[in-house]
Structure 1
Amino acid sequence: MTRTEEVASRTAEFEELRPLLFSIAYRVLGSVTEAEDAVQETWLRYRTSATSPTSPKAFLSAVVTRIAIDVLRSARVRREEYVGPWVPEPLLTDPYQDPERSAELADSVSMAALLLLERLSPLERAVFVLREVFGFGFPEVAAAVGRSPAACRQLAVRARRHMDAGRPRFDADRREREELAERFFDAFREGDVDGLRELLAADVHMVGDAGGKAPQVASSFDGADDVARVLMAVFPMFARIGGVVEPHEVNGQPGAIFRRGDGRVLNTMALDIVDGRIQTIRTVINPDKLGHVGPVADGWEVLDEANGGRLPGA
């Protein structure tokens, strides 16, 4: 096989596995941008590798995992200095699908699950993702993280115990969740505070990730009355700029993309729905985390246009 033929063959193998590689990297990192960079670095290493692996899937999965672990270790230092709450970058569509593991894949990509994964060590997180989410055997996991199969079993047990203890209990019926989310966003568009409040759990939690780079009322609120009040305080400003609420699945859960009238992205919102009520609302406002969603609006410019530079209640 000529070098040109070999590169063409590797390119085809890599492109077939790209969705899997991205999905592994995203779950390890919680960042679309960093996951895409890890996948690209994996391709560069595969393209220039002097050896031809017996299993491209095992080889490439190991490479992207090692790269993601290294990136996560450095990212954790940066996150310690992050301004305000940190929320994973929103994922609108998971490119990897496996009917035999659809439940594991959907559960593991939720904002709640990714935030639980943040509490694990980088090695525990990588082992959990490879073993529990994607079903890799322990020999493959061991090769990917550079530990023995026995050590990986122990890492998996610790990670699973932690994840099971904190795992959220979402409503199972997808259609019911979508209908409740639709009612929620309709109530917001109409400025219906009572309709909004009745959809919220009494102890609902709302958190916003602006990273100090966009305006926000506050980083978090708790309780149905306060959350409804804050949302209704934002509504008049949103209406004045011709804002559009575009319902969209976010990290496998009901959510929406909020846009200016010109289509530029303001923020995303993901809803956790439990027992027929909205339990958690997570909003990503940080423009650095929204570039993959579409052209991003300047939040400060929008605030000036909507409210003379003043946040609600200021």
Structure 2
Amino acid sequence: MTPREAAGAARQFEELRPLLFSIAYRFLGSVGEAEDAVQETWLRYEASPTRPVSAKAFLSAVVTRISIDVLRSARVRREEYVGPWFPEPLLTDPYQDPERSAELADSISMAALLLLERLSPLERAVFVLREVFAFGFPEIAAAVGRSEAACRQLAVRARRHMDEGRPRFEADRREREELAGRFFDAFREGDVDALRELLAADVHMVGDSGGKAPLFAAHTLGLANVTRLLAVAVPQIALVGVVVTPHEVNGQPGAVFRDRDGRVVSAWVLDILDGRIQTIRTVLNPDKPAHVGPVADAWAMSREANRRHATEPGANGSA
């Protein structure tokens, strides 16, 4: 490859990098693994002796095959994972396509990514390429190494599984953001009554710590139980100076929690429907938000909160 050809190939790859990352992330639910898959795709593209007719088709096929292999080994690790497993929080999807913005936003939600975990790697690949990124079946068949007829069957099965458990969200994004803003305002103010008013009767609060951080909500179900949990958590979080910054997480209303030095403590994601919060997901595993910024020591913060609580007036029956 001449220097001019190499420069052209590199430029073409960089233009397609957002798409490749977005494909890989939807397969893997991991920012780091998706970035590694994209880098490996570049190495294979760079080493290819010939330039493909369609760089997009070629690179998408390569990143798909790499992601399928990574996903198969990742599933073995996830079987040994401590507690609920959530994807790594993604604050911004680098790939933008106005014509498919709805599909892109829905497919990156925590709920949708967890639903994709139920599919086989091949079903997941076909679904993501077809339903999310609108690839044709000839391209999909080449990417996964199956016939077009087999890919069509895989697509039907995958779509059926996804439709059976497809998450529903509030249609109006502005209404969702407004309600989430009220929730986190009430959280910062320690107003548990206001928080209760925003929760659905069957609200579910669930957390992913991977056994590596204090977990106050593995699975908590129901308005009364979640309210009691928040009534305990809110003042403890305030005691150690945690800053709550609302932010879209995986295309949904959420927030990033940081300690007083700006280090990431956790990310929260809200599922909202019918004007109420249906699910609160908290990502506490310190390995998962490392791409967002430096990560706090949640165990140290928990110990500090307990010490401060013990010395507060009125604690342990003192005046």
State the TM-score, normalized to the length of structure 1. Answer: 0.97
CA separation in 2, counterparts of 1:227 and 1:115? 22
Contact 1:303 1:310 in 2 (8 A): no
Cα distance in 2 for partners of 1:69, 1:228 equals 41
> SS in structure 1 opposite 2:85?
coil
The match for 2:79 is: 80
Alignment of 1:279-290 (within 5 A): 279-290=278-289
1:64 alignment partner AA: V
| Amino acid across the alignment from 1:117 | L
Q: Is the 8 A contact 2:206 2:282 kept in 1?
A: yes
Secondary structure, counterpart of 2:287 in structure 1: helix
CA pair 309-20 structure 1, distance change in 2 beyond 3 A: farther
Distance 1:42 1:308 in 2: 50
Matched, 1:226 2:222: no
Higher mean alpha-carbon deviation, 129-138 vs 182-191, is at 182-191
- Residue identity over aligned pairs, in percent, reads 77
Q: What are the equivalent positions in structure 2 for 1:240-259 lying under 5 Å apart?
A: 240-259=239-258
1:196-235 maps to which residues of 2 (within 5 A)?
A: 196-235=195-234
Say which is worse superposed, 41-50 or 135-144, in terms of deviation: 41-50
Aligned to 1:299: 298
- Offset, 1:220: 1.3
* 309 and 210 in structure 1: CA distance in 2 versus 1, 3 angstrom threshold: farther
Matches within 5 A, 1:1-314: 3-308=2-307
Tell me the secondary structure at the aligned position of residue 82 of structure 2: coil
SS in structure 2 at match of 1:308: helix
Residues 31, 88 of structure 1: 8 Å contact kept: yes
1:32 Cα deviation from its structure 2 partner: 0.9
Higher mean displacement: 225-234 or 198-207: 225-234
Q: Deviations over 1:257-291 (max 9, x none)?
A: 00001100000000000110000111100011010
Supply the distance in 2 between the matched residues of 1:217 and 1:138 (Cα, whole angstroms). 45
Tell me how far 1:170 sits from its aligned partner: 0.7
User: What is the letter of the counterpart of residue 5 of structure 1?
Assistant: R
Matching residue's letter, 2:204: H
Contact 2:205 2:217 in 1 (8 A): no
Tell whether the 8 Å contact from 1:303 to 1:309 is kept in structure 2 after alignment: no
Distance 1:163 1:300 in 2: 37
User: Which segments of 5 or more consecutive residues in structure 2 lack a partner in the other structure?
Assistant: 311-319
Structure 1's consecutive aligned runs of 4 or more residues displaced over 2 angstroms after TM superposition are: 308-311
CA distance in 1, matches of 2:134, 2:307: 53
* Equivalent residue pairs, number: 310
Q: Which moved more, 1:60-69 or 1:189-198?
A: 189-198
Deviations 1:75-133 (A, max 9, x none): 00000000000011111000001111111111101111001100000000000000000
Residues in 1 aligned to 2:262 and 2:275: alpha-carbon distance in whole angstroms: 31
Q: Give, in whole Å, the separation in 2 of the partners of 1:103 and 1:207.
A: 26
| SS in structure 1 at match of 2:271 | strand
CA separation of 1:216 and 1:310: change in aligned 2, threshold 3 A: farther
- Give 1:218 shift: 3.6
Alignment partners' CA distance in 2, 1:218 and 1:258: 16
Report the alpha carbon displacement of residue 310 of structure 1 after superposing the two structures with TM.
9.5
Q: In the TM superposition, what is the alpha-carbon distance from 1:309 to its structure 2 partner?
A: 10
Equivalents in 2 of 1:180, 1:159: separation in Å? Answer: 33
SS in 1 for 2:212: coil
> Structure 1: 5+ residue runs without aligned partners?
none
